[in-house]
């Protein structure tokens, strides 16, 4: 495609505009992009009327329905609570951020003072702030930054930060970087995720320079380091034993055109706080379906057995993200069959229950709850499994897992391709909703089950920064958060 520069105009926001969220421009944009449910319904109605009144559509005999489709949905009761070390927190509010003000961590990774900070010499005051705040904001996390564990460098090149980090013998390293230069970040991650495996956390200097909410920022940094190192921050009760939840997602490798990387993450314990991850590759451009899942699945099942008293899981529940509707048949043919072959190799095919669900979050479907003469967003936990669902698969449903204060909430579509289980559909709906509470990088509910989001983060890190297999020593850690 060739474009004539003289007739082109730049669109979007500059870097300065996009970071100034308090500017009037942002408020004007929000009034359009985050319209309320009532305004959204009015806009859709007006749009349909405009189409119907067009001379062209009238000549064609085309008429668009102006009223919304009426349907009945269910709601998953939030009878369970987030379980922490110190308390149980209500999940009906959609956020459990207030628990970070207590000593909430179920089980810390016990890093202690084996944690160093690497920063530029001019950012030393920021590192000292981390040292000071850690003692007051530990939230039950066993991480202690000490003054003598700060290492400074004199230039901003990636080599300087990598050399400093490579010389440190500690369980975790926090890098405070002067700016968001991508090459430096990629180089650091590649060194410590592939060549010299170590838990690392990267934070920008400007994040710590802004003192607004500094205590909360430092708490979140400590939480992320602890989760990466094997800490168990919180859990939620799912009343099933000997079950393995799996998330699969894909990302295009930015270095090799036509190559995709797949992230595979599986739960290893009852509390859904321990995971095992693998990476696999795909070289067919334009396709998101992988045929090489058999050895990955076999290895994961054997690892589950090793960690669970020589027992394989009795149920395997897989959530597959990153697949278009047109590729469902290919997923059945290649991925599900590869998983079944892995189970057969271990003589599990007849006794182990298998559920395979495709998760689609980028959809245009929206739901509105009637509230008198106006509309509001449906409550979190709302499920729709009729009227607009399809019949060419085992079954499917829509789940609204989040609540939003602005705009209209987006549902997630779940399409079940394999249903070899004694569970009922409503059980899967509850499982999916509760797993949306288990993503350790966010003290709230996310739009997809946590294993899916972990798989996405893994595939993104490898496809964006590493471009090769991460070190096997990190497979039991959430290093990709």
Backbone angles phi and psi of 201, in degrees to 5 = -130, 135
**Active-site annotation holder among 226, 288, 396, 418:** 288
What pLDDT, on the 0 to 100 scale, is given for residue 372? Answer: 86
**Active-site annotation holder among 282, 413, 437, 456:** 456
What pLDDT, on the 0 to 100 scale, is given for residue 80? Answer: 61
Q: Can you tell me which residue has the tokens 């967003």? A: 377
Backbone angles phi and psi of 336, in degrees to 5 = -65, -40
**Active-site annotation holder among 249, 335, 396, 418:** 249
What pLDDT, on the 0 to 100 scale, is given for residue 93? Answer: 61
Q: How far apart are CA 352 and CA 305, in angstroms?
A: 13
What pLDDT, on the 0 to 100 scale, is given for residue 92? Answer: 60
What pLDDT, on the 0 to 100 scale, is given for residue 137? Answer: 54
What pLDDT, on the 0 to 100 scale, is given for residue 91? Answer: 61
**Active-site annotation holder among 123, 142, 321, 418:** 321
Q: Token digits for 345?
A: 């190799």
What pLDDT, on the 0 to 100 scale, is given for residue 150? Answer: 95
**Is residue 118 within a helix (H) or strand (E), and if so which, with residue range?**
strand 115-120
Instruction: Confirm whether 456 is a catalytic residue.
Output: yes
Q: How far apart are CA 319 and CA 245, in angstroms?
A: 8
Which residues of the chain, if any, have pLDDT below 50?
none
Give per-residue pLDDT as tens, 296-315.
Answer: 999 999 999 999 999 999 99
What pLDDT, on the 0 to 100 scale, is given for residue 244? Answer: 98
State pTM to two decimals: 0.92
Is 2 in a helix, a strand, or coil?
coil
User: In this structure, are residues 305 and 352 in contact, taking their beta carbons and an 8 Å threshold?
Assistant: no
User: In this structure, are residues 451 and 265 in contact, taking their beta carbons and an 8 Å threshold?
Assistant: yes
What pLDDT, on the 0 to 100 scale, is given for residue 423? Answer: 95
Backbone angles phi and psi of 225, in degrees to 5 = -65, -45
Running DSSP on this structure, what letter comes out for residue 109?
A: -
Instruction: Confirm whether 288 is a catalytic residue.
Output: yes
**Is residue 127 within a helix (H) or strand (E), and if so which, with residue range?**
helix 124-136
Is 323 in a helix, a strand, or coil?
coil
Q: Token digits for 309?
A: 């008293």
């Amino acid at each position: 495609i060739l474009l004539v520069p003289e007739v082109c105009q730049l669109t979007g926001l500059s870097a300065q505009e996009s970071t100034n969220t308090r500017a009037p421009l942002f408020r004007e944009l929000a009034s359009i992009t985050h319209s309320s449910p009532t305004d959204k319904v009015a806009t859709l109605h007006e749009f349909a009327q405009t189409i119907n009144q067009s001379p062209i559509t009238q000549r064609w005999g085309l008429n668009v329905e102006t009223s919304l489709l009426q349907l009945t949905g269910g709601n998953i009761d939030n009878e369970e609570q987030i379980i922490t070390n110190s308390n149980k927190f209500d999940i009906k509010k959609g956020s459990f951020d207030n628990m970070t003000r207590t000593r909430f961590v179920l089980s810390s990774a016990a890093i202690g003072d084996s944690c160093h900070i690497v920063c530029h010499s001019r950012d030393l005051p920021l590192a000292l702030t981390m040292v000071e705040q850690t003692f007051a904001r530990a939230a039950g996390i066993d991480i202690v930054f000490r003054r003598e564990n700060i290492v400074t460098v004199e230039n901003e090149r990636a080599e300087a930060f990598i050399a400093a980090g490579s010389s440190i013998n500690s369980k975790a390293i926090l890098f405070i970087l002067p700016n968001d230069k991508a090459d430096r970040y990629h180089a650091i991650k590649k060194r410590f995720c592939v060549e010299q495996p170590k838990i690392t956390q990267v934070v920008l200097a400007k994040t710590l320079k802004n003192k607004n909410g500094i205590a909360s920022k430092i708490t979140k940094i400590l939480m992320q380091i602890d989760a990466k190192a094997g800490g168990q921050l919180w859990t939620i009760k799912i009343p099933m034993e000997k079950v393995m939840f799996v998330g699969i997602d894909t990302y295009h490798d930015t270095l090799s055109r036509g190559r995709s990387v797949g992230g595979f993450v599986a739960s290893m314990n009852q509390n859904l706080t321990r995971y095992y991850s693998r990476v696999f590759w795909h070289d067919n451009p334009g396709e998101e379906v992988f045929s090489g899942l058999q050895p990955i699945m076999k290895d994961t099942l054997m690892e589950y057995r090793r960690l669970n008293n020589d027992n394989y899981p009795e149920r395997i529940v897989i959530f597959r993200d990153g697949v278009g509707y047109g590729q469902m048949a290919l997923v059945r043919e290649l991925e599900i069959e590869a998983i079944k072959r892995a189970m057969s190799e271990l003589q599990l095919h007849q006794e182990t229950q298998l559920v395979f669900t495709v998760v689609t979050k980028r959809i245009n479907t929206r739901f509105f709850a009637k509230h008198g003469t106006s509309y509001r967003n449906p409550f979190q936990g709302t499920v729709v499994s009729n009227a607009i669902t399809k019949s060419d698969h085992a079954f499917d449903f829509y789940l609204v897992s989040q609540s939003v204060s602005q705009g209209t909430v987006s549902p997630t579509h779940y399409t079940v391709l394999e249903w070899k289980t004694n569970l009922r559909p409503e059980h899967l709906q509850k499982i999916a909703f509760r797993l949306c509470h288990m993503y350790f990088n966010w003290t709230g509910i996310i739009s997809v089950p946590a294993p899916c989001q972990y798989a996405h983060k893994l595939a993104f890190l490898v496809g964006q920064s590493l471009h090769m297999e991460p070190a096997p020593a990190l497979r039991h850690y959430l290093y990709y958060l």
